[in-house]
Structure 1
Amino acid sequence: MTELFFAELKRTWILQRRYPIEVVGIIIVTVSIFYGLFLSARYVAGASFQLGDRLDSIVIGYVLWSLVLFVMGNVANRIQYEAQTGTLEQLFLSQFGAVKVFLIRSLAAITLQLAFVLSILLTIMLLTGSRLDFPPVLILPLITVLMGANGIAFIIGALALLFKQVSQLQVIFQFGLLFLLATPIEASTGFARVLASLLPITPSAGILRALMARGENLNLTHIAIAFINGVVYLALGIGLFRLAERQAKKRGILGGY
């Protein structure tokens, strides 16, 4: 597994080094979209435009959404690409199995992509004047985010195995996640609060906002809920992916496009 991880890490680094314009373009586009929305909101509100820590919460939700999109691309987009190039079947015939290959590939890619996400976050903070905290315990909710994001990626990957083209469905997932991650659902009460704990990545987003935007201490109950949420969605995604793999092999469409 270690050998596979470093092989995928080397592969990802070579691709990023050979196509640097793609990396720079993604960072510029991601930052430009948020800054454009920020300027539009400030223009509409006029001189009274003051967001305070709400701006910090919005920044966290948007950057977190960007990270989730990176993770989803590492699995779902790669499956569609491998199907187009005719190399998808080779991954399923490897000694590691497709699930391990895609999971390790995602972890290797995230190792480098976290630097891109940090660049996006720092640039947005510089442009908007947002001030965020970066406590060491930040790593815990970040791990739960990656677990949940990989779970969603495997769910979309399962659909890609069976239907090959799921780009439009993926767009629906992306904007749905933007709503979940950008909205402070953790501030709700009653049934809405319980529902927020069941939605993917939402508990983790709430913890990140509490730590980085409001400077609160880590709540052990909330982080436990976030870990359970991440594990459940990761297990669900891998389970559905394995089920789709068996169906694709049974129908003889694994290597087709």
Structure 2
Amino acid sequence: MKSFKAECWYQIYLYKRYLFNYLSDLFLLILMFMGIFWSGTLVGNGIIGSSLNATVIGYVLWTLIQNTISQMGMTVANEARNGILEQQYLMPISTKQLFFNKSIVNIITSTVQVTLVLLLIMFFTGHWLNLSLLTLLPFSLTLIATIGLGYVVVSLVLRLKRIGSTLIIFQYIYLAVLLINFEYYSSPIKILSCLLPICPMVSWIRLIVNQHSYNLPFYLVGSLFNAAFWLIIGLLVFNLTNKYIKQKGTLSLY
């Protein structure tokens, strides 16, 4: 519990110390979406109705992934560069618990930022989404899947050290994936999309927001499977990587 509190205070101090930078990041996220929105408005009839709902949901959840997973990777890389990571490995808690605390704190801060992004996007576009309490279920499962993805990214940083460019490429590839409406494809493709991180949750949320009829058992089972699958994958990859770097003594950046 002490390490979790320390991680929380660490994030608070970072936000206070570099507030201008974080506000700039928030402004950039809003500006990027407005660029997507305005470009869609200039083509044909623009992005309207349910297509705008789909775009907003996909973009907001991409923002959550970007802040939770990519930021996690950048943080661990910076800590390895500064020697902080080696100190953390000497703490009297397991490394799994250490990075779990980091993931939870990242998720909390990212959820707050995503909420602000969503509210500002709806304000600037004048298009307000009708969110029901049922939306909390797929969103919660999304957070569980991002914990697993966080472990995967941390494993890559611990093993490969410098993956900044890879994280940037991953962000924009996944933005395109999240903007694809898998819920309107054939059944085999919808089933295969359940293997992609958080894709069934995104489709489920879009269907709820657009008030479309859907197969509830399919999306419930698919989302539960997706969350459990990526959490297990993340833990397995992290355990193997953690064991490897301890045996080889390759924790430091150099």
- Which TM bucket (shorter chain)? over 0.9
* Residue number in structure 2 paired with 1:16: 15
Percentage of matched positions with identical amino acids = 27
CA distance in 2, matches of 1:113, 1:151: 16
Amino acid at match of 1:19: Y
- Alignment size in residue pairs: 254
Structure 1 alignment gaps of length 5 or more: none
Q: 183, 186, 207: which is aligned to 1:210?
A: 207
Q: Does residue 1:195 correspond to 2:192, yes or no?
A: yes
CA contact (8 A) 1:137 1:218 kept: no
CA contact (8 A) 1:75 1:154 kept: no
> Residue by residue, what CA displacement relative to the aligned partner does 1:44-68 show, whole Å, maximum 9, x if unpaired?
32xx335211101111100110011
* Residue number in structure 2 paired with 1:39: 38
Q: CA deviation at 1:22?
A: 1.9
Q: Does residue 1:247 correspond to 2:244, yes or no?
A: yes
SS at 2:167's partner residue?
helix
SS at 2:43's partner residue?
helix
CA contact (8 A) 2:70 2:167 kept: no
Q: Greater shift after overlay, 162-171 or 212-221?
A: 212-221
Q: 147, 153, 157: which is aligned to 2:144?
A: 147
* Residue number in structure 1 paired with 2:87: 90
TM-score by length of 2: 0.92
Amino acid at match of 1:125: M
Q: Matches of residues 212-231 of structure 1 in structure 2 within 5 Å?
A: 212-214=209-211, 219-231=216-228
Q: Does residue 1:103 correspond to 2:97, yes or no?
A: no
Amino acid at match of 1:32: L
CA distance in 1, matches of 2:13, 2:160: 30
SS at 2:162's partner residue?
coil
> Residue by residue, what CA displacement relative to the aligned partner does 1:149-199 show, whole Å, maximum 9, x if unpaired?
222222122111111001122123212221221111122113211111111
Q: Does residue 1:164 correspond to 2:164, yes or no?
A: no
Amino acid at match of 1:25: S
* Residue number in structure 1 paired with 2:29: 30
Amino acid at match of 1:84: R
TM-score by length of 1: 0.91
CA contact (8 A) 2:37 2:47 kept: no
SS at 2:194's partner residue?
helix
* Residue number in structure 2 paired with 1:127: 124
CA contact (8 A) 2:142 2:198 kept: yes
